[in-house]
């Protein structure tokens, strides 16, 4: 793996596990097994480091959008299933960027908004009622919010006494007359 990628991986891990405040240059360098000077060679500043993460989100997001559109179960099921973060590369990046966005980083907010807008577009191709499409988008947001709260994708809020994904999908399907 390239040094660049292992640095971004370390940044994601720290943002997910310990939050935005813990993601200092020192901590990222230590987790990536490079020196602080080495980190600053690859990313000249913290802003550049964050921009690197946002570029990764854009790349992974576009790949996922293709998979979403090509999914045999349709974009909606694919979207909701993937909203229960399962530890994929995109999930890890998304949680990390969300942490930055919720910490006030406006670039991260914009990147997330763009991704969400792509999702809504793909959902709307399958579900033509805009209100239903919005409900689905917001439901996915809610699922993501749960994993963001706990930080660790292993213990999402929805695992604590809430119904499982198939039950939620069944409810959503009742909103789609054609399904």
- Decide which of DNA, a second copy, none touches 134; Cβ closer than 5 to 8 Å per partner kind: a second copy
Q: Does 42 bind DNA (CB under 7 A)?
A: yes
CB of 104 to a second copy, least distance (A): 3
Q: Which stretch binds DNA (CB under 7 A): 11-19, 40-48, 87-95, 147-155?
A: 40-48
Minimum gap (Å) between residue 74 Cβ and DNA: 42
In the shown chain, the binding pattern of residues 87 to 116 toward a second copy, with x for contact by CB under 8 A and - for none, equals -----------xx-xxxx----x--xx--x
154 binds, among DNA, a second copy, none (CB under 5 to 8 A by kind): none
Query: Of the candidates 82, 93, 115, 158, which one interacts with a second copy according to CB under 8 A?
Result: 158
Tell me the C-alpha distance between 105 and 121, whole Å. Answer: 25
Asked whether position 19 contacts DNA by CB under 7 A, the answer is: no
Rule CB under 7 A: is residue 5 a binding residue for DNA?
no
Sole binder of DNA in the list 5, 26, 113, 129 (CB under 7 A): 26
Q: Looking up tokens 């973060």, which residue turns up?
A: 85
From CA 142, how far away is CA 136, in angstroms rounded?
10
DSSP string, the chain: --HHHHHHHHHHHHHHHH-GGG--HHHHHHHTTS-HHHHHHHSSSHHHHHHHHHHHHHHHHHHHHHHHHH-TT-HHHHHHHHHS--S-HHHHHHHHHHHHHHTT-HHHHHHHHHHHHHHHHHHHHH---HHHHHHHHHHHHHHHHHHHHH--TTS-GGGTTS--HHHHHHHHHTT-TT-
Which CB, 23 or 168, lies closer to DNA? 23
Residues that bind DNA (CB under 7 A): 3, 22-27, 34-38, 40-42, 44-47
């Amino acid at each position: 793996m390239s040094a660049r990628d292992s640095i971004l991986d370390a940044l994601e891990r720290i943002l997910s596990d310990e939050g935005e405040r813990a993601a200092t240059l020192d901590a990222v360098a230590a987790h990536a097994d490079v020196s602080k000077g080495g980190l600053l060679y690859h990313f000249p500043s913290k802003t550049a480091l964050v921009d690197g993460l946002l570029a990764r989100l854009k790349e992974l997001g576009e790949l996922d959008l293709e998979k979403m559109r090509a999914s045999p179960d349709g974009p909606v099921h694919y979207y909701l299933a993937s909203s229960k973060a399962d530890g994929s590369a995109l999930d890890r990046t998304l949680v990390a960027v969300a942490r930055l966005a919720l910490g006030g980083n406006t670039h991260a907010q914009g990147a997330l908004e763009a991704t969400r807008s792509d999702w809504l577009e793909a959902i709307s191709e399958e579900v033509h009622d805009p209100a239903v499409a919005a409900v689905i988008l917001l439901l996915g947001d809610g699922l993501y919010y749960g994993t963001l709260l706990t930080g660790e994708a292993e213990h999402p809020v929805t695992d604590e006494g809430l119904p499982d994904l198939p039950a939620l999908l069944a409810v959503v399907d009742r909103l789609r007359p054609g399904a």
